[in-house]
Amino acid sequence: MSDRTQTHTEPQPLPQPSHDPASASASSSAAAAAAPEIINGPPPPQSASPPSKIPLRPQKIRKLSPESSTPDPKPSAAGASPKSKAVNAASSSKPSKNRIVASRAPALPRIVVRSLSCDGEVEAAIRHLRDADPLLASLIDLHPPPTFDIFLTPFLALTKSILYQQLAFKAGTSIYTRFIALCGGEDGVLPETVLALDPHQLRQIGVSARKASYLHDLARKYQNGILSDTAIVNMDDKSLFTMLTMVNGIGSWSVHMFMIFSLHRPDVLPINDLGVRKGVQLLYGLEDLPRPSQMDHMCEKWRPYRSVASWYIWRFVESKGAPSSAAAVAAGASLQQQQQQQVEEQQQHHPEQPQLLDPINSILNLGYNAFHFSS
């Protein structure tokens, strides 16, 4: 009995690993590798009588100490079996917390941009633009503030945009009125309703075969879940631009107009719009019409309210008596040539659409009557 007691109280197992020069790292690795066995084993016996197991399994001295496994989780993760990893994830509180924090880190907070239709947002934009650009401030003094009070569902607004492409105001209004009647009213302009209209029916109300294919492509992307009104409203500007230009017949200019006047996004610069480019040329006294690639840099000071700045630029060009046809000439091409180019790019599903007289008139047709340029 005395021999048994002496073996039990013998301190040899504790210093035994210290004869190794790398005892500290070896003990840490051994403790980490053995930690999962404690979780798998029954906790009460181990915690109740640890000394009785010292002679048989000396390594368990370190297993009973939670400090030996928790400070260095990396060896534990490397040496543990798949089963023990699953147990650690379920039962160990500290590694579990670390795991939750790691998975939550990549998720960035969503930045919610205030719409221009929100109370006080246009006023805030005007104050910012006055301070940022003295030349633009002179335009602000000449014109009343813009209003952004047109509210259409995204699908209806995009459908309307397609129908008015390359049409004068009167012709576009006539076709749109007949289209609405065919759908049973504006509330009836839904993806399934548009898909139910065959090209022959659309042709009878003046919609070309090409535009009919554009309408069907938009409706199919809604029906397949690629697009939806909810998704469009919640997308950031970059993602929205990418997704909408995937629709046949919708180019960059149409997306920019949609973002400004339907979604009321505050920081949209329509760099391909000839009216805005011409206005920038006149405002800053440039010899040449700025290229689309130069627009972002030149209008950087207007951020984050480039939509409102563009509104004033349109009004400025209008007051100068420079309709979009004049802008087309300034761009070095006749109106007829640019119209033909637009048709060709639409056929090739080019992401950019040059903007001419008819698209400017389309703004009025979509409810943006502040920007109508007479021909």
The pLDDT score that the predictor gives to residue 112 is 53
Q: What is the pLDDT of residue 114?
A: 87
3-class DSSP state of 3: helix
CA–CA separation, 314 and 276 (whole Å): 6
The reported pLDDT for the residue numbered 321 is 81
Residue 85 has φ and ψ, to the nearest 5°, of -60, -40
Domains and CATH numbers, the chain: 2-104 (no CATH), 121-371 (1.10.340.30)
Supply the pLDDT for residue 217.
98
Other beta carbons within 10 angstroms of residue 227's beta carbon come to 24
- pLDDT of the residue at 320: 86
pLDDT of res. 33: 43
Q: Which of 327, 156, 157 is nearest to 255 (CA)?
A: 157
Find out whether 9 and 15 touch, Cβ atoms under 8 Å.
no
The span from the CA of 83 to the CA of 337, in Å, is 70
Tell me the DSSP string of 216-256. HHHHHHHHTTS--HHHHHHS-HHHHHHHHTTSTT--HHHHH
pTM of the entire structure?
Answer: 0.61
* Regions in the chain scoring below 70 on pLDDT: 1-113, 322-375
Residue 100 confidence (pLDDT)? 40
Q: Scan for tokens 């209004």, then name that residue.
A: 173
> How far apart (Å, rounded) are the C-alpha atoms in residues 303 and 295?
12
Give the pLDDT of residue 191: 98
